[in-house]
Copies of this chain bind each other. A is one copy, B any other.
Amino acid sequence: MARDINLGRGLDQIFQPRSIAVIGASTDPSKTGGRPVHLLKKHGYAGAILPVNPKADEVQGLTAYASVADLPQVPDLALIAVPGAGALEAARACAERGVPAAIVLSAGFAEQGSEGAARQLELRAIADNSGMRVLGPNCLGTVSVPEKAIGTFSVALENEMPAQGPVAIVSQSGNVGSLAMKMLGRGGAGISRFIASGNECDVDIADAIAWMAGDAATRVILVCMETCRDAARLTLALDIARAAGKPVFVLKMGASDVGKAAAMSHTGGLAGADQVFDAVFARHGAVRVKSLEMLVQMGSAAAALGDRTVSANPSVSVIAASGGFGIMMADAAEEHGLTLNRTGDAAIEQIKAVLPLASAVNPVDATAQMSANPETFGALLSAVAGDNANEVVCIMMALGLEVPRLRDTYLAALDAARAAHPDQVFVACVAGPDDALQILNAKGILTFPTIDAMMEGVSHLGRLTAEKGKDAGGARDIATAPLDRGSVATEADAKRVLSAAGIGFPEEVVVTSADAAGQAADRLALPVAMKILSADIQHKSDIGGVELGIVGADDAAAAYARIMTAAATHAPDARIDGVLVAPMITGGTELIVGTTTDPIFGPVVMVGLGGIFAEVFRDTALQPAPVSLEDAQEMLRSLKCFALLDGARGRPRADVDAAAQAIVALSEFAARHADDVAEIDINPLLVRDQGLGAIALDALIIPHQTQTSEAAE
């Protein structure tokens, strides 16, 4: 059944309920069913708390009700903390009572075998049929810091609520999300909301992202995900967040490639499932990070950045009180692709005026002079921040804020510099103390605990800017159309349909006799390649079915005979349609272009370096199909081998536009025929000198193995 794509519906009641029923409320505040009541009371939730417990009149000082039906009002939100089958019954009672939203904290569903999975399907049916939104099951629930609305039994709230701030956490895993919440509380920018979606029978992270995009308390969204259950919902949610100007950072777990063994084409073998996520996130404006620490740090950094932005390739100046740290910062900046600002003469003069022994050229080494005279720090900051070309000022604070003698002077200098240069971005490398970090973040000064994290973080902010401007759609939507799978079985078939789709192939002739082969070779004049044509033989060279560099009629006739003998020997059962005679076109760069079908995101187009090096260097770019011409050009530019296409080492510049057009055409073909086509290889696509086009020399289309496409479900 198709899911409702009305993203975020009913999440007002989940995040901002005026009343919360706790079903399975326990009198013992340490128990799963007792803890939400305890936490709601402890942290001062202002709405009504309605415990449901058939065995008690009172729970933790509150009037308890025997059943959902007995509740004196319809609660906005029901927390369901009774196990397995009982949870299902409670959900049904809530739906009947007209409760708009429920959080099923209980485990015992799809994570526990087929019986649990059946139970989860029932839960989903309750949600679908009643319109009640259901978060979970098997989830850690929610925390809304501004309203103190707690829909969780998490021990993370035992001692204190997280500090309030503008960062929302949207996680599938409860444990990972709540560690992120804890970390952000410590010296971070603070939390607006937390949601852990567990098994996602109904409400998913797409709902949560879309809702956070419209939430006044949230300015930055952090996502921890293990999987995506619905591509369209996820990408729409990311588009909504981008349109709302809320940065999204994603930690996607499970980066090791899966399902690759099953791929049948070269493209399938080269395109990693995880790489598709990279492409999807980038296209929809979310910045992917590699660790929980970086996720949390980006939350605080983006919050501190506020309305400012850094450009896609920011100019960075580096300040340290030691040459060693300066070099390390410059190394890290270079490693993360940042441009080191060339310090201007005026700035150099100003620095030398206050710190005569300083090395005033970026990376600026203030020397021990600075810690001896901490009041010089302000003048130094001002000189660097005033430097015209500079966008980001990166400062190594080391233990500076832990030394009482230095702390207040340094904080005041940073504050003054920030006020005097409101558009500049100041970033401090400092690991503590937590209270000083919170002060800096609140003042709009970014902090990172290590040099490497600092430079990686600044480059992530640059990516955010680069992705912000992109068209969310990528390319126009393409309606699917059926393709007769039998009509694309041979190489000649594949070339014919792809040629009709706009991909250039050389003229070639199919022959079925040695004589005809000779005539064809004569007519084409160039050296020719001859290849066996059979739907039953996919790797033609392996069986001796390919002859190259054949010149003239006699040689062609002899080659024909050799090919037929080889086929008869090595593939005696293959049905042979003849031999393809094609001119050998040389002089160009070989790419491989292809498509594959991602189990989540559907057809995907890939381009990579062709030839024997493709698999060794895995120099590939990948995008969900269809792609726009601009996307295709960016795919090509992102290849390491792009320098070769772009005229490196005195080579002529290749026809990059023609290659990009071929990628677009192929991506549109794959999107149009997504229901029938599983994988396509064009290998090689020969990209010739500028103006001479890109010519496909071989093509293979692999249909889906089943008659109705699995991938379309």
Contact = CB atoms under 8 A, between A and B. Distances in A.
A612 B175 contact: no
A279 interface: no
A324 B176 contact: yes
B398 A175 contact: yes
Contact of A650 (B368, B542, B619): B542
A648 interface: yes
Copies in the complex: 2
Contacts of A334: 256
A112 interface: yes
A224 interface: yes
Nearest to A255: B331
A451 B179 contact: no
A173 interface: yes
Contacts of A616: 640-641, 643-644, 648
B175 A615 contact: no
A412 interface: no
Given A324-B172, A324-B224, A450 B399 contact: no
A155 B616 CA distance: 52
A704 interface: no
A254 B174 contact: no
Nearest to A542: B650
A644 B470 CA distance: 39
A371 interface: yes
Interface residues of A, number: 59
A398 B226 contact: no
A33 to B, nearest CB: 14
A172 to B, nearest CB: 7
Interface string A636-663: 0000110110001111000000000000
A291 B175 contact: no
Contacts of A613: 613, 617, 641, 644
Given A327-B253, A617-B617, A450 B322 contact: no
Interface in A282-297: 290-293
A544 interface: no
Contacts of A253: 324, 327-328, 331
A117 interface: no
A175 B619 contact: no
Contacts of A617: 613, 617, 619, 640-641
Contacts of A112: 357
A634 interface: no
A587 to B, nearest CB: 13
Interface in A307-345: 320-325, 327-328, 330-331, 334-335
Nearest to A176: B324
A640 B542 CA distance: 24
B330 A256 contact: yes
Interface of A: 107, 112, 155-156, 158, 171-176, 179, 182, 224, 226, 253-256, 290-293, 320-325, 327-328, 330-331, 334-335, 357, 368, 371, 398-399, 403, 450-452, 542, 612-613, 615-617, 619, 640-641, 643-644, 648-651
18 contacts: A107-B357, A155-B371, A173-B324, A175-B320, A175-B368, A176-B322, A176-B324, A179-B398, A182-B399, A226-B323, A254-B327, A254-B331, A255-B331, A291-B450, A291-B452, A612-B644, A613-B613, A617-B617
In order of increasing CB-CB distance, the 5 nearest A-B pairs are A173-B324, A175-B322, A176-B324, A253-B327, A255-B331
Given A175-B324, A612-B644, A616-B641, 16 more contacts: A107-B368, A155-B403, A173-B322, A175-B321, A176-B322, A179-B398, A182-B399, A226-B324, A253-B327, A256-B334, A291-B452, A292-B451, A613-B613, A613-B641, A616-B644, A617-B640
